[in-house]
Structure 1
Amino acid sequence: MPGTQRELELQFLAEPTDVNFGGKMHGGAVLRWIDQAGYACAVAWSGKYCVTAAVGGIEFVAPILIGDLVQVRCKLVHTGTSSMQITVDVIARDLKTARQRLATHCVMTFVALDAPDGKPSPVPRWTPLTEEDIALGQYALKVMEVGRRIREEAATLRPGH
C-alpha cells in the first residue's frame, strides 16, 4: 500500500568475488547494494517505478570484509511532488563476534515515474512527526543542495561552457 512503508532493510553477505586486491569490498559493489535497497524503499513508499536522480554525501566510513553480514538500512526522510529523499546506512557485522560498524552512509534522491510515458509522477506526501524526522529531512535537503551547487560549479569548468 503506497505511502505506508518508509523504512526498508536488505541484507547481503560479503563474498570473496566482491572484494578488491586489499581484501575489502569494492566500492562499486556497495553502491550497487545501496541503489537496490534505495530503489526498493522508494517503490515501497510511492507504489510506482522509480529512478535514482542523485546520491549525495556518500561516506565510506569503515571497510566491509569477506564474510560480513551487510545490512543496508533505508529510511524515507523527505518527499517533494514526485521526488523522495532517502537516507541509507550500510552496517557491516562480523558474524563470528557480532560486532557491527557503520561502513557507509549517504542520501539518495529518487523520482517516481508514471508507466505510460515515463514522466515524473506524484508521490504520497510524508510529514515528519518527530524532531529526529525533521532533522533528518533537513539534513537530506542540505546534502542534496551541496551536491547541486557542486554540479553547477563543475559545469562551468567543462570545456565549451
Structure 2
Amino acid sequence: MSPPRELTLQFLAEPSDVNFGGKVHGGMVMKWIDQAGYACASGWSGGYAVTVYVGGIRFIHPIQIGQLVEVHAQVIHTGTTSMHLAVDVYSRHTTERERCKTTHCIIIFVAMDEHGKPRTVPSWTPHTDEQKKLEQYAIRLVELRELIDREMRPHL
C-alpha cells in the first residue's frame, strides 16, 4: 500500500492569532501551511523532510477569530528527493457548514536522511484528470521558479 498523499489539519482561530486589522495574521496562516505540509511530506516520504520553497502564496479572504480553519495539503508532484504539495486553506464559522477558500500556495519539501543529506522519496503518479492537471501545474511552476531565480540572483 502506498503512503497517504494528502491530509487535512484543523485549527481554531484564536484571539492570539489576530493582526492589527482584527483578522488572523498571515504569519499564523503560513505556520499552519508549513505544519500541514510537513505532516503530509513526512508521511509520504516516511521520514524527516525540510521546507525548501513556498511559492505563489495567495491570501484570498481573511480568516476571522473563532472560525474553524482547515489546511489541506496534497502531494501533486515528486522528484527524486523532492515533494511538491498544493496547500489550500479554508475557513468557516463553527455553526455553519459552508467553508470559504482563504489561501492557496505550493510548498516543496526535500526528504532528508539521518546525516542531513537528501534521500529518495516514493514516486507518485497521477491517475485522474484532476491529478494530472495538478501535476502539470507543479511542473509549470518549476519552470517559472527557474526564471525568477535567474532574475533574482544578482540581488542575493
CA shift digits 1:54-108 (9 cap, x unpaired): 0111110000000010000011111110000010000011113333100000111
Which runs of 5 or more residues in structure 2 are unaligned? none
> Greater shift after overlay, 55-64 or 96-105?
96-105
Q: CA RMSD in A?
A: 1.4
Question: Does the 8 A contact of 1:13 with 1:67 survive in 2?
Answer: yes
Report the TM-score, using the length of structure 2 for normalisation: 0.95
Question: Does the 8 A contact of 1:77 with 1:133 survive in 2?
Answer: yes
1: CA distance between counterparts of 2:24 and 2:36?
17
Count of aligned pairs between the two proteins: 156
Give the secondary-structure state (helix, strand or coil) at the position aligned to 2:4.
coil
Moved runs in structure 1, 4+ residues, more than 6 A? Answer: none
Give the secondary-structure state (helix, strand or coil) at the position aligned to 1:76.
strand
Which of 114, 117, 120 is residue 119 of structure 1 equivalent to?
117
1:1-161 equivalent positions in 2, closer than 5 A = 3-115=2-114, 117-156=115-154, 158=155
2: CA distance between counterparts of 1:39 and 1:33?
10
Identity %: 54
Which runs of 5 or more residues in structure 1 are unaligned? none
Question: Does the 8 A contact of 1:92 with 1:103 survive in 2?
Answer: yes
Amino acid at match of 1:151: D
Give the drift of 1:143: 2.2
2: CA distance between counterparts of 1:83 and 1:56?
15
Give the drift of 1:113: 0.5
Report the TM-score, using the length of structure 1 for normalisation: 0.92
